[in-house]
A and B are shown apart, each in its own frame.
Chain A
Amino acid sequence: MGVLLAAATGLERPFPPLAGEAPTPERAALGRLLFFDPVLSEDGSLSCAHCHQPERAFTDGLATARGRGGAPLARNTPTLFNVGTKPRLMWDRRAGSLEEQARIPLLGADEMAADPGRLVARLAALPEYRERFARAFPGATPLSFANVTRALAAFERTLVSRRSRYDRFAAGEREALSAEERSGLALFRSLNTRCFECHRLPTFDAPLALGVGVPSPDPGVGGASGEPAQRGLFGVPTLRNVALTAPYMHDGSLPTLAAVVDFYRRGGGRALGVAGDRIDGQVRAFSISDAEAAALVAFLSALSDESAGPAVPERVPSRLPIHRRATAP
Chain B
Amino acid sequence: MRTMLLGSLCALLAWPAAAENLRVRSGESIAAALELAEPGSVIEVEPGVYHEALVVDTPNVTLRGIVRGPERPVLDGRGTLNDGVIASGSPFTMTGFAVRHYKGNGVSTQGVDGVFLTDLVIDDTGLYGVYPVQSKNISVTHCTVTRIRDAAIYVGESQGALVAMNYVHHNVAGIEIENTNDAEVRDNLTQDNTAGILVFVLPGKVLKEGKRSRVHRNWVVGNNTPNFGDPESIVGSLPHGIGILLMGADDTLVENNQVRENASLGIAITRLAEEHAKKDPPLEPMTDGARIVSNHLDVNGTAPHPGITKGYGGGGDFGWDGTGKGNCADLADGARTVGAPIGACADTPPTTSAAPHAMHGAETDAMPMAPPPDLTGAAAVVRIRGMRFEPRHVSVKPGQTVVWVNDDNVVHTVTSGAGTLPSHAPLSSPFLTRGQAFRHTFAEDGRYEYLCLPHLDQAAMRGATVTVAK
Contact = CB atoms under 8 A, between A and B. Distances in A.
Interface of A: 6-7, 9-11, 13, 174, 182, 185-187, 189-193, 196-197, 200-201, 206-211, 225, 227-230, 233, 267, 270, 276-277, 280-282, 284, 286-288
Nearest to A6: B59
B174 interface: no
Given A187-B82, A281-B202, A229 B278 contact: yes
Contacts of B58: 9-10
Contact of B204 (A11, A191, A208): A208
Interface residues of B, number: 42
B108 interface: yes
Given A9-B58, A200-B134, A284-B233, A191 B82 contact: yes
Most buried by B among A190, A225, A276, A282: A190
Interface stretch (B124-132, B210-218, B460-468): B124-132
Interface string B125-165: 01110010110000000000000000000000000000000
A7 B112 CA distance: 12
Given A10-B59, A200-B134, A280-B204, A186 B86 contact: yes
A10 B279 contact: no
B40 to A, nearest CB: 11
B234 interface: yes
Contacts of A207: 206
B280 interface: yes
B232 interface: yes
Contact of A230 (B104, B128, B202, B279): B279
A276 B88 contact: no
Nearest to A185: B55
B82 A186 contact: yes
16 contacts: A9-B58, A10-B90, A10-B92, A186-B53, A189-B55, A189-B108, A190-B86, A191-B127, A192-B82, A197-B133, A200-B206, A207-B206, A225-B281, A281-B202, A281-B204, A288-B82
Given A6-B39, A9-B57, A9-B89, A227 B82 contact: no
Given A192-B82, A229-B279, A186 B55 contact: yes
Contact of B111 (A10, A191, A211, A270): A10
Given A9-B58, A192-B82, A284 B232 contact: yes
Contact of B112 (A10, A206, A209): A10
Given A7-B59, A10-B59, A201-B111, A190 B105 contact: yes
Interface in B79-111: 82-83, 86-90, 92, 103-105, 108, 110-111
Contacts of B83: 186, 189-192
A227 B128 CA distance: 33
A280 B111 CA distance: 21
A199 to B, nearest CB: 12
Contact of B103 (A6, A186, A192): A192
A179 to B, nearest CB: 11
B365 interface: no
Contacts of B126: 191-192
B445 interface: no
A263 to B, nearest CB: 16
B347 interface: no
Contacts of B105: 190-192
Contacts of B57: 9-11
B230 interface: yes
Nearest to A228: B278
Contact of B275 (A201, A209, A229): A229
Nearest to A292: B82
Given A190-B104, A208-B205, 7 more contacts: A10-B112, A185-B55, A189-B86, A189-B110, A200-B134, A227-B278, A284-B230
B275 A277 contact: yes
Given A9-B88, A200-B134, A191 B206 contact: no
A281 B275 contact: no
Most buried by A among B58, B105, B110: B110
Contacts of A280: 204
A206 B111 contact: no
Interface string B167-206: 0000000000000000000000000000000000010111
Contact of A208 (B90, B131, B206, B233): B206
A129 B206 CA distance: 41
B43 to A, nearest CB: 16
Given A10-B59, A196-B110, A210-B204, A190 B82 contact: yes
Contacts of B90: 7, 10
Contacts of A193: 82, 104
A176 to B, nearest CB: 12
Q: Which 5 A-B pairs have the closest CB atoms?
A: A10-B88, A192-B104, A191-B105, A229-B278, A191-B104
Nearest to A279: B232
B34 to A, nearest CB: 11
A191 B128 contact: yes
A13 B205 CA distance: 19
Contacts of A13: 111
B91 to A, nearest CB: 10
Contacts of A206: 206
A276 B233 CA distance: 9
Interface in B362-414: none
Nearest to B128: A191
Contacts of B232: 267, 270, 276, 284
A291 to B, nearest CB: 12
A287 B103 contact: yes
A230 B103 CA distance: 31
Contacts of A209: 204, 279-280
